[in-house]
Structure 1
Amino acid sequence: MISRFGDALRTTALPLLAVRLTDEPLAVASVTACASLPWLLFGLLGGAVADRVDQRRAMWAVDIVRGLLVAAFALAVGLGHAGVPLLIALAFLLTTLQTLFDNAATALLPSLVPRAALGGANARLLTGQQLAGGLLAGPFVPLLLGVGAFLPFAADAGTYLLAAALVASLRTRPSDREPRPCGSTLRKDIGDGLRHLWQDRVLRAICSATLLCNIGMGALIATLVLHVTRWLHADTTGYAAAMTAYALGSLAGGLLAQRLALRTGRARALLLGGAVQTAALLLMGTVRSLGALLAGMLLLGIMNMVWNVNQVTLIQQRSPASMTGRIASAFRTVSTSGAPTGALLGGAAADALGLNAPALLAAVLFALAVAALIPVGRADVPVVAPQDGSASARVTR
């Protein structure tokens, strides 16, 4: 949560600093693009490495390196030596390190809490991250930038180093990971993770559905400012209100996610979340009202958090302990590849069909995602035993 607060400071401040340094739209966009590219290049590798190392040590070591990198960047900004190439390099390096950190964090959680408590732990963790990154950090960025352009980055460096100390102090249970077979290679490990994801019909269906949803959200988010300012004829305050509604919805979704899963089962919670988000997108795309947009964004935030909590929990519950990092990274790499594709589709749809078309396109994609989940939502989803891969229990209802 602490490092996520710092991440939000940095990711908000980087584009603002880029605008100060250049008037070229492509250069400014390159900073954001390079912040997501490493997931496609190194996400699978990060998961394979996470399964080979002590995950707690990997996390605090990564945070120390990230803290030192951002501190050096803050110094460069303070001395007036920062340029767009340096911004791009920083964004790329930090996300590359994040591929190891996030996969290690996903794999580590089952050693901190019992598997039956993973849903509640994920809900608290993701809600805390949303609170820190979605609501608390944003208002600080203009204040810090007003004092000095280097301050958001100096604060980010401090949060990384503090987070490293906290992670290092964690007490974990003995690992139940099986020893790696002799002759195991990173390439084979990555292949095993992809193969397990493909062979597990539940995770395969959820990954396919998440990919469709990410394409839809990519289309919506890339054009949302146009939707608000041109189609609805609202100002930038309306855009800020829409993003705030989404963040508030995410916090409410964090409180709802585990309760809903206990009542319906995790796969059905995903099914319900996708259906509600489809309806929200139809509302946003057909009703030309800022109130409808805010209601839709609130519902999207609620059900997106329900989706994320139950998706991550199912990955952890259905993955052998020795493969959690690889399976999580395979899932994340495949599903997140949809966002840039969606952004391009959203821009093309807005250009050809109208500024509300991306929301309607997203609704169609979410409906397809719901259809992909129907087969696994008809019955309880079995939880796979940590090592032997057999179905040993069923999701609590």
Structure 2
Amino acid sequence: MGDTDDRSTSDRDFGRYLNARVLSVLGAVVSAVTLPVLVYQLTGSAGWTAAVTAAEALPYLVFGLLAGALADRLDRQRMMVALDLAVAAVLATVPLTWLAGALTAPHVVVVAFVTQTAFVFFDAANFGALPTLVGKERLTVAYAALYGRTTVVELVVPGLTGLLVAIVSPAALLAVNALTGVGSALLLRAITSSLANPRPMRGAGELVADVREGLRFLWGEPVIRTLTLVGATHSVASGAWVAVLVPFADEVLGIAPRGDVRLAALFSCWGVGAIIASRVLPRLTQRWGNARVALRALPLSLLGVVLVLVGEHWLLVCAAAVFWGVAGAVVVINGISYRQQVCPEELQSRVNTTGRMVAWGLGQPLGAALAGAVSVWAGDPRAGLAAGVVVLFSGVVMAWVSPVLREAAGRHG
């Protein structure tokens, strides 16, 4: 009877956790759509639009190591609740300033940086919370459920947000983020199961030692190390696309940043691909293993972004973006799930945050900055995306010449 009650409590708490993550992702997706549109409406500049994308990704590079070490030491539940509420407060400044007629592009960039800094610490706690909550034996199923549900949000919400942007100011839509942050905080606070085994921190020296331990594990596990480095090149390409999407839609496809529902379709493409990827990936890894999946998905991801780059009609670009979304999401989920499966529980936050810091926190802002600079220099957003394609090509080559991945693929085969 006791085991049944414990399992019921665990399932109930996992449901709260899932709903909290859905709310958080909903708010994040709304931001991802509205912030670039908002800045482009304010400035008409591809450079400022790229600056927002870079500001959203840069905190992972700056704070990733510290966040992972702290999340393995502190109470993760309290940490996540506090950060949700902080993000809600900061985001609320955008619609309030807009109503006062004082909103500027630098303000939006600062808000993007601050909120994503909070997200870095939240994400670090989240990486360790899920394995602790469900146990490693249920981790794959739990992560698939989490990713499947959040990708539904990523499929539906960008399109709806794109439609709303045609009617309502993007600044006003950011009030939604404040509400989702509060809702997520309340759900997380209601969880009764432990999300952590906090350890006391007696000084900065212990924190530095924790960071080093996480780095040693990440660098010492050859498959994780290679997948992380290759994943960084993939993030450069995706960062370039996010940075130039709105200018690309406007200048290449003739899709205006306001009042054109086709923009909503473009924002939905990656979510469609992610939905498909979340369905097929478990079967792919079971059949081929993580290394072989990476080797096959990366060239397909490269093909997808090339098709986006050369597309001239918005329907063809959407189809190519969906294809890219499938291959890209397979690359991302494959790397994360393998890392979590092989990582000890006491290192989950440090190792996973460090891996994400390198793969996404380095790649995404680099891709955004590169695309923005090249787009401004060339006067064409396609040139910025092409720069990201070149970096992704180097990652595909790196993966295929890597003896680590080829040996791991051969062992599974």
TM-score interval, smaller chain = 0.7 to 0.9
- 1:341 aligned onto 2:366: yes
- For residues 127-206 of structure 1, the aligned pairs below 5 Å read 127-140=148-161, 142-143=163-164, 146-147=167-168, 151-173=172-194, 175=196, 184-206=205-227
- For residues 9-158 of structure 1, the aligned pairs below 5 Å read 9-22=30-43, 26-27=47-48, 29-140=50-161, 142-143=163-164, 146-147=167-168, 151-158=172-179
CA drift at 1:201? 1.0
Q: Which residue of 2 aligns with 1:245?
A: 269
CA drift at 1:32? 3.6
RCO comparison, higher one (Cα < 8 Å, 6+) = 2
Distance 2:27 2:187 in 1: 15
- For residues 203-242 of structure 1, the aligned pairs below 5 Å read 203-223=224-244, 235=255, 241-242=265-266
Q: CA RMSD in A?
A: 3.7
Structure 1, unmatched stretches of 5+, are 383-394
CA drift at 1:211? 1.4
- Residue identity matched to 2:332: N
Distance 1:192 1:248 in 2: 38
Distance 2:313 2:95 in 1: 42
Taking every aligned residue pair, what percent have the same amino acid on both sides?
Answer: 25
Indicate the SS of the match to 1:172: coil
- Residue identity matched to 1:107: G
Distance 1:381 1:326 in 2: 30
Indicate the SS of the match to 2:134: coil
CA drift at 1:64? 1.5
Distance 2:313 2:299 in 1: 22
Indicate the SS of the match to 1:112: helix
Q: Residues 53 and 302 of structure 1: is their aligned pair in 2 closer, same or farther, counting only changes over 3 Å? A: same
Check whether the contact 2:84–2:185 (CA below 8 A) recurs between aligned residues: yes
Indicate the SS of the match to 2:72: helix
Q: Residues 225 and 32 of structure 1: is their aligned pair in 2 closer, same or farther, counting only changes over 3 Å? A: closer
Distance 1:263 1:109 in 2: 25
- Residue identity matched to 2:394: L
CA drift at 1:318? 1.9
Which segment is superposed worse, 259-268 or 181-190?
181-190
Indicate the SS of the match to 2:359: helix
CA drift at 1:136? 1.6
CA drift at 1:109? 0.8
Distance 2:185 2:50 in 1: 30
CA drift at 1:272? 2.4
CA drift at 1:190? 1.7
Check whether the contact 1:281–1:363 (CA below 8 A) recurs between aligned residues: no
Distance 1:51 1:266 in 2: 26
Deviations 1:335-365 (A, max 9, x none): 2212333345556499499858557525623
Q: Residues 53 and 41 of structure 1: is their aligned pair in 2 closer, same or farther, counting only changes over 3 Å? A: same
Distance 1:188 1:105 in 2: 21
Deviations 1:173-213 (A, max 9, x none): 57567777988432222222122211111211111111122
Length-normalised TM-score, structure 2? 0.78
Q: Which residue of 2 aligns with 1:326?
A: 350
Length-normalised TM-score, structure 1? 0.81
CA drift at 1:253? 0.8
CA drift at 1:162? 0.5
Distance 1:61 1:68 in 2: 11
Distance 2:39 2:315 in 1: 33
Which segment is superposed worse, 372-381 or 131-140?
372-381
Aligned match for 2:400, one of 365, 371, 384: 371
Structure 2, unmatched stretches of 5+, are 1-21
CA drift at 1:91? 1.7
CA drift at 1:158? 0.8
Indicate the SS of the match to 1:52: coil
Distance 1:36 1:45 in 2: 16
- Residue identity matched to 2:353: S
Q: Residues 159 and 177 of structure 1: is their aligned pair in 2 closer, same or farther, counting only changes over 3 Å? A: closer
Check whether the contact 1:196–1:327 (CA below 8 A) recurs between aligned residues: yes
Indicate the SS of the match to 1:259: helix
Check whether the contact 1:144–1:151 (CA below 8 A) recurs between aligned residues: no
Which segment is superposed worse, 180-189 or 301-310?
180-189
Distance 1:205 1:90 in 2: 33
Distance 1:223 1:131 in 2: 24
Q: Which residue of 1 aligns with 2:26?
A: 5
Aligned match for 1:315, one of 339, 344, 352: 339
Check whether the contact 1:209–1:372 (CA below 8 A) recurs between aligned residues: no
- Residue identity matched to 1:254: S
Q: Residues 365 and 294 of structure 1: is their aligned pair in 2 closer, same or farther, counting only changes over 3 Å? A: farther
Indicate the SS of the match to 2:101: coil
Check whether the contact 1:18–1:28 (CA below 8 A) recurs between aligned residues: yes
Aligned match for 1:269, one of 270, 279, 293: 293
CA drift at 1:375? 2.4
CA drift at 1:110? 0.5
Indicate the SS of the match to 1:48: helix
Q: Residues 145 and 204 of structure 1: is their aligned pair in 2 closer, same or farther, counting only changes over 3 Å? A: same
Check whether the contact 1:202–1:381 (CA below 8 A) recurs between aligned residues: no
- Residue identity matched to 1:376: L
- Residue identity matched to 2:405: V
Q: Residues 217 and 362 of structure 1: is their aligned pair in 2 closer, same or farther, counting only changes over 3 Å? A: farther
Structure with the larger helix share: 2
Check whether the contact 2:232–2:359 (CA below 8 A) recurs between aligned residues: yes
Distance 2:163 2:309 in 1: 32
